Amino acid sequence: MTVLVAYAPAAEGREALTEGIKEAHLRKADLLIVNIGRGHHDLEAQEVQELEGQLTAAGLALTIESSVLADPGDAVIQIAQERNVDMIVIGLRHRSMVGKLILGSTVQRILLDATCPVLAVRADKL
C-alpha cells in the first residue's frame, strides 16, 4: 500500500504531509511525496532535509518522486497511476468566492481525474 502526498512548500503542503503521515500509519502504508510547488521538479536542499527529519521522526522513509510533465496535476495523476497508489492527499487553502468557483487547476484536476480516493485537507482549519 502507498499513500501519495501532493506536496508544495507552503501551509497547504505541510498540512497535506501531516495528514499523509497519519494515513500512512493508519493503513500501514508507504508514503510517497510528489512536489507540486513552483519549479515542481526539484525541492531545495533545506526543504528536503526538513522533510527527511519529519518523516524519520514519524518512522517513515523519505521517498520523493517527480515527473517531466509541466502540469503538476498531471504529474500527480501519472505517478499515482504508475505506482498504483491507494490514496492521494492534497492540501487546500482558503479562497475568495471567485477562487472557490475556479478551485485551482491542480486540485481540480487531481480531484476529477484520480483513479483512487483523494483526501483534501484545509491548511486554514476553522
Q: Render pLDDT for 25-83 as a digit per residue (tens, 0 to 9).
A: 999 999 999 988 766 557 788 888 889 999 999 999 889 887 778 888 899 999 999 99
Residue reference for cell 517513515:
60
CB atoms within 10 A of CB 75: 23
- Report if pTM > 0.75: yes
CATH number where 11 lies: 3.40.50.620
Structural domain span for residue 11: 2-122
pLDDT in tens, 77-113: 999 999 999 999 999 876 665 555 555 678 888 999 9
Q: How many residues comprise the chain?
A: 126
Name the residue type at position 73: G
Give the span between the Cα atoms of 87 and 116, in whole angstroms. Answer: 6
Q: Report the domain count for the chain.
A: 1
What pLDDT, on a 0 to 100 scale, did the predictor assign at position 72?
86
Residue 84 φ/ψ region, left for φ over 0, alpha for ψ in the -120 to 50 degree band, beta for the rest: left
What pLDDT, on a 0 to 100 scale, did the predictor assign at position 114?
95
